[in-house]
Chain A
Amino acid sequence: KNEVEQSPQNLTAQEGEFITINCSYSVGISALHWLQQHPGGGIVSLFMLSSGKKKHGRLIATINIQEKHSSLHITASHPRDSAVYICAARNTGNQFYFGTGTSLTVIP
């Protein structure tokens, strides 16, 4: 069993839709990271959170420490949001455990 599980694996949405990607983890963490990777490209850090909720523009990340669960929401999705979204759990030893990623395609 992976330490970090993401769902769904693949997601197709119409432009404008509200999108949710889920992440569950089984390790003790100091922080939970959401990352974005465009095709053929490097990885960009979207959020690092250890409690509550963070918001950047149309992106919102939440975490429930008791339930070991985090969600990434995208409001008013746009084709440029098409990418792979990766959840990563970081423990106090600075070790990262990556989810398998969610491949998002937003259709105009």
Chain B
Amino acid sequence: DTEVTQTPKHLVMGMTNKKSLKCEQHMGHRAMYWYKQKAKKPPELMFVYSYEKLSINESVPSRFSPECPNSSLLNLHLHALQPEDSALYLCASSQWGGGADTGELFFGEGSRLTVL
């Protein structure tokens, strides 16, 4: 199984709503990532978890709250978002380790978020 599964595929929410994006992988990867991607731009890193602990937070506003309940799951909790947060949110996973033979990134299909 070389899949990263993201749900939901599409999400529309108001600025006062609370919602969550979910990501799951069963490849035994101990690094999981959240990226935000705007149209015609490369992915921007938001968070990195390694061994279920938050290792990188790229100064993301607190209205985005990540959670890694176990080694297979990664959530992104959303609250009081702004319309400019509308984007494609991509989850990825990889083996953790700086070596040349590890670290291939596997991406999910993304969750397309629209904030009204």
Instruction: Kindly state whether residue B110 has any CB partner on chain A within 8 Å.
Output: yes
Chain B residues 22 to 76 lying within 8 A of chain A, measured CB to CB, are 31, 40-43, 45, 48, 50, 56
Is A94 within 8 A of B106, CB to CB? no
Given A94-B31, A103-B40, 5 other A-B contacts at CB below 8 A?
Answer: A41-B109, A42-B107, A45-B104, A90-B103, A92-B98
Residues of B within 8 A of A108 (CB): none
The residue in A41, A43, A96 that gathers the most chain B C-beta atoms within 10 A of its C-beta is A43
Contacting pair A42 B105 (CB below 8 A): no
* A residues lining the B interface (CB < 8 Å): 30-31, 33, 35, 40-45, 48, 50-51, 86, 88, 90-96, 98-101, 103
In the assembly, what is the distance between CA of A45 and CA of B31, in Å? 16
Q: In the assembled complex, how far is the CB of residue B56 from the closest CB belonging to chain A, in whole angstroms?
A: 7
* Overall SS of chain B's interface: loop
Which of B31, B41, B43 has the most C-beta atoms of chain A within 10 angstroms of its own C-beta? B43
Chain B positions within 8 Å of A, measured between CB atoms, are: 31, 40-43, 45, 48, 50, 56, 90, 92, 94, 96-101, 103-110, 112
Q: Which residue of A30, A43, A45, A93 is within 8 Å of B100 (Cβ)?
A: A30
The distance from the CB of A55 to the nearest CB of chain B, in whole angstroms, is 16
- Contact call A45/B105, Cβ cutoff below 8 A: yes
- Chain B residue with the shortest CB-CB distance to A9: B40
User: With the chains together, A33 CA to B43 CA distance in Å?
Assistant: 14
